[in-house]
Amino acid sequence: MTPRTSRRVGLRGAAVLAALTAAAWLPTPAEAGKANDTLNIAWDRELPNADYYFNNSREGIVVNRMIWDNLIYRDPNTGEFKGLLAESFEIVDDTTFEFKLRKGVTFHNGEEFDAGDVVATINFLLKPDTGKLAQQGVDWIKGAEAIDDYTVRIYAIEPNPLALLYLAGDVPIYPEKYYAEVGPSGMGQAPVGTGPYKVEKLVPGKEIVFKANENYYAGSPKGQPAIGTIHQRTIPDVNTQIVELTSGKLDWIWKVPPDQAEKLATLPSLNVVSAGTMRVGYLTFDVTGKSGDNPFQDVRVRKAVSHAIDRKAIVDNIVRGASEVIHSACFPEQFGCTQDVTQYEYDPEKAKALLAEAGYPDGFRTEFYAYRNRDYLEPMLGFLQQVGIETDLRFGKYAATRDAIRSGNVPLAFMTWGSGSVPDVDAIAPVFFGGGPDDLAQDPEVHEALKKGGGTVDRDVRLAAYDKALNKIAAEAYWLPLWTFNTNYAMSQDVDWTPTADEIPRFFLADWK
């Protein structure tokens, strides 16, 4: 949700909720939901394309997990890898993974699953000119080879500690014949996988009706789907969603703004849950002076900014929900994300002293770039002003802001990063401190540590390397890590479903109470 819509939603939402509250204690009509074994869900954005490889939306990830299966499955609660389409798997060496495939698995169209489907999927992903979107999850793969009909080997270009995570998340297996026949466009309109739910009806952008796959193979770690039908509708306005939820026409919604979530939580027919997401917010500084000489080249100024902003107050009063303040340049539950680093408590006097020491006793004026959450941004600007830092806000679209940062035009920016829900430091720190176009610090010591952490599968070596990198980043205040983001889910009391920290609702784990 954009800041503009967030604010608009807030104002409208208050009125809508006030009006709804008047009738909230009436019994909820049992028009849908548990009575006819249909879970009615809505989200605000259209699914771009049901073909997973041609969509970079979170909704696409949710749909992917329902329709398709990967070779392996990562338990969202324990982090353990289990065989999914692969009955078992073995890490032959640092760059070779062997999978023994399940026999007797069929795709939703009746096509039998075997090694040919795995190899065809990987070969498609390795083609350079298909127009597929984000490739981070597949560009580590060198190739795939069918050893026999039910044994496959996948080769990595070089050791990659995230290989199993990517195989469990970003590489759903497609039916070879069907995909060759219909291509991405056909798959987008009539998706076919092996997953726990099959698509009965898909009206692009409007609705998808999923039916439980009655032939879903026994022994899948995803379990057998408990709910017969899941009907997803696209309702862009959160207030309309709330009316539909409170009147019983919907059973589940998400991304509910905090103020409305708090009010919805008072309704006896609803269950409201706030859960963290892997997205973190941060301030990034032009440490190397790419945008020209600027105060942030001085570590004392970066530390002053870090002491100037009361992150806890912003989290407690504005962000709310399951969010928490962070101190390290990663999401706390990611592998290797130590929080045992230099921490900058709110101390405006210390901030002023640091600014004076750096030669800015009266503060200074700077451009401040941002692209989302104006409601979080404004208190930050206020805190900076209190220590003498005046800001010229440059608020734009994400792509424009990231372009400006990469082009070296940005002294200070408020940005966020979701790590693609990959629970490993390698999905965040190397992007911003590994020497690439987003790296504004260009610290060789950090580069080396991150390269070491990302170039091996040895846990201890990785932990030590990330510890070193994250400590250096914090000590030099290359970033000011702000807080984790959260999502509010609201659902009918009939629904038995628990969110996970990766913000991927797994409806195949949902049931009725």
Partner 1 sequence: MLVYTAKRLLLAILVSLTVSALVFSLLYLSGDPATALAGERANEADIQAIKAAYGFDQPVYVQYFKWLGGAVQGEFGQSVYFRMPVIDLIVERLPVTMMLGVSAMIFALVLAIPLGVLAAMYQNSLIDRAALLLAVVGQAMPSFWFALMLIVVFAYWVPILPASGSDSWEHFVLPTIVLGYYATPAFMRLTRTGLLDVLSSDYVRTARAKGLSPAMVLFKHALRNAIIPVVSLAAVQFGFMLTGSIIIETVFALHGAGFLAWESISRSDFPTVQAVLLLFSWFYIILTFLADLLNAWLNPRIRVA
Q: Which of 133, 164, 318, 356 binds partner 1 (CB under 8 A)?
A: 133
Q: Which amino acid makes up residue 367?
A: E
Binding mask 135-154 for partner 1 (x = CB under 8 A): xx--x---------------
* Residues 14-53 close enough to bind partner 1 by CB under 8 A: 15-16, 19-20, 22-23, 29, 45-46, 48-49, 51
Of the pair 202, 301, the CB lying nearest partner 1 is at 202
472's torsion region: left (phi>0), alpha (psi -120 to 50) or beta?
Answer: alpha
Smallest distance from the beta carbon of 271 to partner 1, in angstroms? 20
Smallest distance from the beta carbon of 105 to partner 1, in angstroms? 27
Of the pair 76, 204, the CB lying nearest partner 1 is at 204
Q: Which pairs count as long-range contacts for 383-387, CB under 8 Å and 24+ apart, including other chains?
A: 383/308, 383/309, 383/310, 383/348, 384/305, 384/308, 384/309, 386/308, 386/348, 387/304, 387/308, 387/348, 387/351, 387/352, 387/355, 387/363
184 and 52 Cβ atoms separated by less than 8 Å: no
If one asks whether residue 408 binds partner 1 (CB under 8 A), the answer comes out as: no
Q: Which pairs count as long-range contacts for 206-209, CB under 8 Å and 24+ apart, including other chains?
A: 206/46, 206/233, 206/234, 207/231, 207/232, 207/233, 207/234, 208/47, 208/50, 208/63, 208/232
If one asks whether residue 128 binds partner 1 (CB under 8 A), the answer comes out as: yes
Of the pair 350, 394, the CB lying nearest partner 1 is at 394
- Rounded to whole angstroms, the Cα distance separating 501 from 211 reads 26
Interface region with partner 1, contact rule CB under 8 A, candidates 92-100, 280-288, 391-399, 476-484 = 391-399
- Rounded to whole angstroms, the Cα distance separating 481 from 393 reads 20
Structure-block tokens of residue 32: 């849908």
Smallest distance from the beta carbon of 42 to partner 1, in angstroms? 8
If one asks whether residue 247 binds partner 1 (CB under 8 A), the answer comes out as: yes
Structure-block tokens of residue 269: 């027919």
Q: Which of 234, 288, 297, 500 binds partner 1 (CB under 8 A)?
A: 234
If one asks whether residue 233 binds partner 1 (CB under 8 A), the answer comes out as: yes
Smallest distance from the beta carbon of 125 to partner 1, in angstroms? 12
Q: Which residues bind partner 1 (CB under 8 A)?
A: 2, 8, 12, 15-16, 19-20, 22-23, 29, 45-46, 48-49, 51, 54, 56-57, 128-131, 133-136, 139, 184-185, 188-189, 203-206, 233-237, 239-240, 243-244, 246-247, 249, 396-403, 417-418, 420, 431, 436-437
